[in-house]
Amino acid sequence: MTSKAFRIGGDLEVRRLGFGAMHLPTEAGPARESSLAVARRAVELGVTLIDTAYLYGGGANEELLAEALYPYPDGLVITTKVGVARSGAQGEWRLDGRPAVLRTQVEQALRRLRVERIELLQLHRIDPETPFADQLGTLRDMRAEGKIGRIGLSEVTVAELDQARGIVDVASVQNRYNVLEREHEPVLTACEHAGIAFVPWRPVAAGASGAESAIAAVASEAGATPTQVALSWLLSRSPVMVPIPGTARVDHLEENLAAEKLHLTPAQYATLDRLHQPT
The answer, yes or no, to whether residue 17 has pLDDT greater than 80, is yes
Residue 11: how many other CB atoms lie within 10 Å: 9
The crossing angle, in degrees rounded to 10, of helices 30-44 and 250-258 is 20
Report how far apart, in Å, the C-alpha atoms of 148 and of each of 60, 167, 265 are: 20, 16, 41
Residue 173 bridge partners (DSSP): 153, 198
For each of the domains in the chain, give its residue range(s) and CATH number, in order of start. 13-206+240-247 (3.20.20.100)
Average pLDDT over residues 16-20: 97
Average pLDDT over residues 240-250: 97
Catalytic residue among 54, 56, 70, 269: 56
Read off the amino acid at residue 203.
Answer: P
* pLDDT value for 3: 81
Alpha carbon distance 81, 122 (integer Å): 5
Q: pTM for this structure?
A: 0.95
Alpha carbon distance 142, 242 (integer Å): 25
Alpha carbon distance 23, 35 (integer Å): 9
Which strand (E) or helix (H) includes residue 13?
Answer: strand 12-15
The answer, yes or no, to whether residue 180 has pLDDT greater than 80, is yes
* pLDDT value for 89: 80
Pairwise pLDDT comparison (67 vs 88), residue with the higher score: 67
What is residue 168's DSSP assignment?
S
Pairwise pLDDT comparison (202 vs 277), residue with the higher score: 202
Residue 197 backbone phi and psi in degrees, to 5: -65, 135
Mean pLDDT of the chain: 95
Average pLDDT over residues 84-94: 88
Least confident range from 92-101, 106-115, 211-220, 263-272: namely: 211-220
The answer, yes or no, to whether residue 223 has pLDDT greater than 70, is yes
* pLDDT value for 90: 83
Average pLDDT over residues 225-229: 95
Alpha carbon distance 22, 105 (integer Å): 17
List all residues 6 or more positions away from 169 whose beta carbon is below 8 Å from its beta carbon.
9, 150, 151
* pLDDT value for 210: 58
* pLDDT value for 100: 98
pLDDT range class, residue 206, cuts 50, 70, 90: low
Helix (H, G, I), strand (E, B) or coil at 81: strand
pLDDT range class, residue 211, cuts 50, 70, 90: low
Average pLDDT over residues 191-208: 88
Cα atoms found within 13 Å of the Cα of residue 62, Cβ hemisphere only: 23
pLDDT > 90 fraction of the chain, expressed in percent and rounded: 91
* pLDDT value for 88: 78
Alpha carbon distance 7, 49 (integer Å): 11
Alpha carbon distance 240, 70 (integer Å): 28
> Is 56 annotated as catalytic?
yes
pLDDT range class, residue 257, cuts 50, 70, 90: very high
The answer, yes or no, to whether residue 279 has pLDDT greater than 60, is no
Tell me the Cα Rg of the chain.
18
The answer, yes or no, to whether residue 73 has pLDDT greater than 90, is yes
* pLDDT value for 56: 96
Residue 256: how many other CB atoms lie within 10 Å: 28
